[in-house]
Amino acid sequence: MKKKTPKTKHSLISELPIIKIVSEEEEMHVKMELEMEDSTHDMLVKWGKEVASDEDYIRIAIDAGIREAVDALDNKQK
């Protein structure tokens, strides 16, 4: 399965805008590693893009930004 990585990095924490958390709810999820044909992967990506909401994209971006910021801080401390 192909894994896409962002083409541009937003690695400076100071560049992040202020985001206020107004509520939260816990969710359980299972992370799976999947194997599939490239054509199946492409089909699922297409379907996902058709149903993904703006909030889905926001969650993906925030998750990636937090992970990148934590990695940058970890690398600074080493």
pLDDT of residue 62 exceeding 80: yes
More confident position, 4 or 55: 55
pLDDT tens column, 38-53: 999 999 999 999 999 9
**Token pair listed for 66:** 């937090």
pLDDT computed for residue 75 by the predictor:
85
**Whole-number Å distance between alpha carbons of 76 and 64:** 18
Position of tokens 């893009």? 49
**Whole-number Å distance between alpha carbons of 17 and 61:** 12
Inter-residue contact 4 to 44 (CB < 8 Å): no
